[in-house]
Structure 1
Amino acid sequence: MPRLVLLDTNALLMPFQFQVHLEAELHRLLGDVEIAVPSPVLSELTLMADDNRDARAGARLAKKYRAIEGHGSADDALLDLAVAHRAVVVTNDQPLLDRLKSAAIPRVFLRSRNHLVAEGV
């Protein structure tokens, strides 16, 4: 059964800002995964897309993955959904990484601007 992986807004920007192949890196780290994007993350990307080329590309990329309903801010939705579904969260947002670590939620983040690493998996 694939592991559920939730993407934060900045995770969807990584392929365009750092040339990181998101899916390949997630498969390398976690094996079989199902990638999903919480609805508040989609909303955040849509707001950013008006004046940000990378956000427009990230919004297009997000459509490739399953949308999952979440409530509250993007960070709160990621935390709640990760707990509810025992999911891994991909983010590069340090305050969110700290919250995830405190809640013992597995997390994946960018290291050295060119590859992903996993903690708590």
Structure 2
Amino acid sequence: MAFDWIRRDKIHKTVILDSSAILMFFEFSVDWKKDLDSLVGSYRLVVPTAVVRELEMLSTHRKYQRKVNAALKLIATFKRIDDPAISADEALMNIAEKTNGIVMTNDIELRKRLKNNHLSIIFLRGRKKLVLEEY
């Protein structure tokens, strides 16, 4: 059964973050909080532990170290959700199905899989604006 969580008479959507979306916050000048407010309204951000592990592995690469460390600091304040899936993509899909959540990602292959499974997606269009595709 899908659900939104309710707090003080407000319905909150669950937005599940992929590593590509988290890194996007530091790569492009996007006011992601403002865009999310206008697209979704009230929401909570969650990060699968598989995505956290993915970012931790990326942090060992010198090329990505600065962005990834900043990303890890940012997501420390977000709720983490455990999922038994081995890959981050599978975890994102499982959590989206269980919570009726919206996956935020820039990964084209993942977006296709989400679309084929009729799961809602938020992605960056034109390096400047977040777009919501609901299914």
- TM-score normalised per structure 2: 0.86
Q: Secondary structure at the match of 1:2?
A: strand
CA contact (8 A) 1:48 1:55 kept: yes
Letter in 2 for 1:87: G
Deviation of the 1:86 alpha carbon: 0.5
**Offset at 1:22?**
2.3
Q: Which consecutive segments of 4 or more residues in structure 1 shift more than 6 A?
A: none
Gaps of 5+ in 1: none
Q: Which amino acid aligns with 2:99?
A: H
1:22 aligns with 2:32: yes
Deviation at 1:14, TM superposition (A): 1.0
* TM-score, length of structure 1 as denominator length: 0.95
SS in 2 for 1:36: strand
Aligned length: 121
State whether structure 2 residue 31 is matched by structure 1 residue 31. no
1:2 corresponds to 2:42: no
Query: Which residue of 27, 51, 58 corresponds with 2:71?
Result: 58
**C-alpha RMSD over aligned residues:** 1.0
Choose 54-63 or 75-84, whichever is displaced more.
Answer: 54-63
Distance in 1 (CA, whole Å) between partners of 2:19 and 2:115 is 18
For 1:67 and 1:89, the matched residues in 2 are separated by: 14
| 1:97 Cα deviation after fit | 0.1
The percentage of counterpart residues that share the same residue type is 35
2:101 is the counterpart of 1:103? no
> Which residue among 67, 77, 81 is the counterpart of 2:80?
67
Query: Rg: which structure is higher?
Result: 2
Unaligned runs of 5+ in 2: 1-10
